[in-house]
Amino acid sequence: MRAKSYNQYLDILPEIKDALEKGLPIVALESTIISHGMPYPRNVETAKQTEQVVRDNGAIPATIAILGGRLKVGLSSAEIDDLGKKGLDVIKSSRRDIPFLVAGEQDGATTVAATMIIADMAGIRLFATGGIGGVHRGGENSMDVSADLEELGQTNVAVVCAGIKSILDIGRTLEYLETAGVPVVSYKTDEVPAFYARSSGYKSDYQVNSPNHAAKALHAKYDLGINGSILITNPVPEIYALDPNDINNTIEEAITEMEKLGITGKQTTPFLLSRIAERTGGESLDTNIKLVLNNAKLAARIAVEYSNACKDGK
């Protein structure tokens, strides 16, 4: 059999390359959560726990980053350690940043959008993350809209997450996704979760009740040649969920502080997550970690079923 040809800028770990050639289940994981989402050493611990959860549920983890200008599909333990220690010094990288990091041989931690792009280059169809970016609160005036949304509309990688980050305008984000033709699916519920909380008050487009159900929809979408993602939202386990009203009040306070300090752009999300963690006594960080692990578990199970569907041709 002729070996598959990959983009010249990709470095794929041998285990992952072998799995791609054999059609085995793989789950992509982002690296911004390591460098910008959590403090050291919990960021590194969580990244490695997430990889293990993927393995425990039958799939192979592929943590993605840009290192020395190379697009890395799969990181070594030492590379994860290094990203975690460098933290905010690593460039937070979205679609627009990729060519400049490659040309400059720099390091980059990949956002949802950048991770989707690189996963798609490798042929990985499932990606687990915490929450996606979206329309920021006040975005109708600031036009602050995450590149994640555009990517979800055009790139063939399904994303499993705990919903749209609570710090965002969830209603406007869902309207954007509808316009972009992205199905918003909820796992075992008909409501879209709100990251820290299990419910946002908004209904999802579809409900799926098993990994096989989600995998069949994903297989049908790509078999039909319909480009773009399916956003699979997975509520944080109830035992770890935060009260929607309490967390919303905390977010509003953090946003007010952020506006007074004049913080904008890429620094917005790291600042808000840090302030929210401080104001909840670390409870929000614990919830963040638990929902990431929960999403990795579901994504791995969907990846297994999707791999089987592709082999069966149905």
216, burial (CB in 10 Å: exposed 0-12, middle 13-18, buried 19+):
middle
- List the catalytic residue out of 165, 221, 297, 305: 165
The two structure tokens encoding residue 220: 């049908």
Contact 177, 155 (CB under 8 A): no
Amino acid present at 306? Y
- List the catalytic residue out of 30, 51, 151, 305: 30
CA separation for the pair 127, 114 (Å, rounded): 12
- In the block, tokens 């699979």 appear at 232
The two structure tokens encoding residue 97: 């940043």
For the CA atoms of 163, 128, 94, 86, the dihedral, rounded to the nearest 10 degrees, stands at 110
Contacts for 98 with CB less than 8 Å, ≥ 6 apart: 66, 71, 108, 114, 117, 118
DSSP state of 186: E
Report the relative pairing of strands 26-29 and 231-233 from DSSP bridges: unpaired
Is 165 considered catalytic here? yes
Contact 152, 177 (CB under 8 A): yes
Q: How far is CA 164 from CA 108, 159, 195, in A?
A: 23, 12, 6
Q: Which residues are catalytic?
A: 30, 165
